[in-house]
Copies of this chain bind each other. A is one copy, B any other.
Amino acid sequence: MIVILKQHATEEDRQNLIEELERYGVKVHLSEGDQRTVLGLVGDTTKIDKSVLEANDAVHAVKRVAEPYKKANRKFHPEDTVVKVGNTQVGGGNLTVMAGPCSVESREQILAVAHAVKAAGATMLRGGAFKPRTSPYSFQGMGPQGLDLLREAKEETGLPIVTEIMDPNDLKYFRDIDVLQVGARNMQNFDLLKALGKTDQPILLKRGLSATYEELLMSAEYIMSEGNPNVILCERGIRTFETYTRNTLDVAAVPVLRKLTHLPIIIDPSHSGGRRELVVPLSLAGIAAGADGIEVEVHNDPAHALSDGPQQLLPEAFEVLMAQLKTVHAAVHAEA
């Protein structure tokens, strides 16, 4: 961390500031220029709040050199994390494909889709039981009953389950769920993150619509600092000025996060594009950029889906996608 002093800062200001900084347990190196004095902080600065320093009247600017996250940081944990989910693994060169409907809507629906995606080669079943919807008048999900149907689908197909949790109060319903998803709108619901950090269940953490890479990693850090290391990151599109697509898939997130963190990274081609015809090209782009997998929406009757119909694939289209994914995954890994 670099602290640049204002030109008018007095010797006393400087001494007071240095003492304050040393109380954080860091060493302070002073560099005096003609116009500016710069303090270089050496040691663990993750606990120093940048804005606390910026509020000091003698301080012109504060620049971080080291990242403010630690457990999620590749520098302190160079090897890739591989998250075990049932008998499959996320990360470590495996191709993870979480597929299934946006919402669990009925027994028939979820079983049909589960069998179809299993047959095509999916490695997990996704489906929403608790649904975060923009409108209070939209379908809000089947709740605990939806979770029961997912359990039944798991029993029939053997596919581990991924499903969203929105409220720490609901954790009691999710004790045997394989992967707990935190949606984009809850990425900074810190009470939820802390509660999930106290479990040891794998967490699929989706990037918020306007969250920076650093904020995403700080949210992962919330979970990890409570003791749960099993975090999978998901890029699902950010909000930009372009409105033709629902959101803008930031495919660079994959190699950037790969560099900054050891956690596995998947992409969501369904929510980012919001259009069925974009699912295949975005999935292939994500895998080509190095993602560990995708989470994709598949529905046996999208035209009557209770949510997100326009972006859900039919099982036949999913089958074609699986074949292409494998080819591109192989091509990328052959060259790596």
Contact = CB atoms under 8 A, between A and B. Distances in A.
Interface of A: 2, 4, 27, 29-36, 38, 40-43, 46-47, 49, 51-52, 54-57, 60-61, 63, 65-66, 68-69, 132-139, 166-169, 185-186, 188-191, 194, 209-210, 212-215, 218, 221-222, 225-226, 238-245, 248-252, 254-256, 259, 272-273, 277-278, 281-282, 284-290, 302-310, 312, 320, 323-324, 327-328, 330-332, 334-335
A205 to B, nearest CB: 14
B248 A248 contact: yes
Contact of A305 (B52, B166, B272, B307): B52
Given A133-B190, A212-B243, A52 B306 contact: yes
Give the secondary structure class of A's interface. mixed
B55 A310 contact: yes
Given A185-B188, A332-B328, A40 B31 contact: yes
12 contacts: A30-B31, A31-B31, A34-B43, A36-B65, A49-B135, A55-B309, A136-B225, A169-B191, A185-B188, A238-B241, A251-B281, A324-B332
B289 A282 contact: yes
A190 B137 CA distance: 12
A77 to B, nearest CB: 17
A231 B245 CA distance: 24
A252 B248 contact: yes
Contact of A255 (B56, B281, B310): B281
A317 B302 CA distance: 44
Copies in the complex: 4
Across the A-B interface, give the 10 residue pairs with the lowest CB-CB distance, nearest first.
A55-B309, A210-B210, A288-B288, A31-B31, A33-B42, A284-B288, A185-B188, A285-B285, A167-B191, A331-B331
Contacts of A285: 251, 254, 285-286, 288-289
B46 A35 contact: no
Contacts of A57: 303
Contact of A36 (B42, B169, B240, B290): B42
A166 B137 contact: no
A252 B240 contact: no
Given A248-B238, A282-B251, A289-B282, A34 B42 contact: yes
Contact of A40 (B38, B249, B288): B38
A2 B289 CA distance: 32
**Which of A132, A242, A252, A309 counts the most B-chain CB atoms under 10 A from its CB?**
A252
Contacts of A61: 65
B334 A327 contact: yes
Most B CB contacts (10 A, CB to CB) among A225, A243, A332, A334 go to A332
A303 B74 CA distance: 26
Contacts of A272: 252
A318 to B, nearest CB: 14
A40 B33 contact: yes
Contact of A212 (B51, B244, B256, B324): B244
